[in-house]
Amino acid sequence: MSDTSVPPPPPAAPAGEDKTAAILSYITLIGFIIAIIMHNGKKTQLGTFHLQQALGLLVTGIVGCIVVMICSVILAFIPVLGWILSMVISLGFWIGMLALMIIGIINAVNGASKPLPVVGAMYQKWFGKAFV
């Protein structure tokens, strides 16, 4: 006799603990690692969603940093105008990343599973099976 029943979903974590992991996931790499550890103890949908969004934001930050550095090196050969463009590109990228991080934290504090603007849907597509 084989038992093909699906195991029951994990019990829901207390609301505060659920939000804590979601909030921590956006705050630095160390916060992301702590959130993963907390999430592995008690898996929740809110924690999973925000870990996926934060992972996407982390990957975007690393790749974007590399792209910005390459652009800065190329633009460094153009006196004055190249330096100004390099600073504008770099500043624009980091302000955008900070804005996305703040939006993610606000969504986590409110307990909302809303994707980040512009890139959130892609993150769910790419990292949808992570942390489940």
Q: Which amino acid is at 1?
A: M
pLDDT at 44: 87
Domains in the chain: boundaries: 15-124
pLDDT at 130: 82
pLDDT at 21: 87
Phi, psi for residue 102 in degrees, rounded to 5: -65, -40
78's CB contacts (< 8 A; 6+ apart) are 85
From the list 61, 57, 68, 67, the residue with the least C-alpha distance to 126 is 57
pLDDT at 129: 85
Query: Is 79 in a helix, a strand, or coil?
Result: coil
How many residues are listed for the chain in this entry? Answer: 132
State the DSSP H helix or E strand holding residue 11, giving kind and residue range, or none if neither. none
50's CB contacts (< 8 A; 6+ apart) are 21, 22, 23, 25, 26, 35, 104, 107, 108, 113
pLDDT at 88: 94
Distances (CA, A) of 29 to 35, 51, 54: 10, 12, 10
pTM greater than 0.85 (yes/no): no
Per residue of the chain (132 residues), give pLDDT as tens. 555 554 444 444 455 667 888 899 999 889 999 989 988 888 888 889 999 999 999 999 999 999 999 999 999 898 889 989 999 999 999 999 999 999 999 999 998 889 999 999 999 999 888 888
CB 117 within 8 A of CB 103: yes
Please give the DSSP secondary-structure letter assigned to residue 118: T
pLDDT at 3: 52
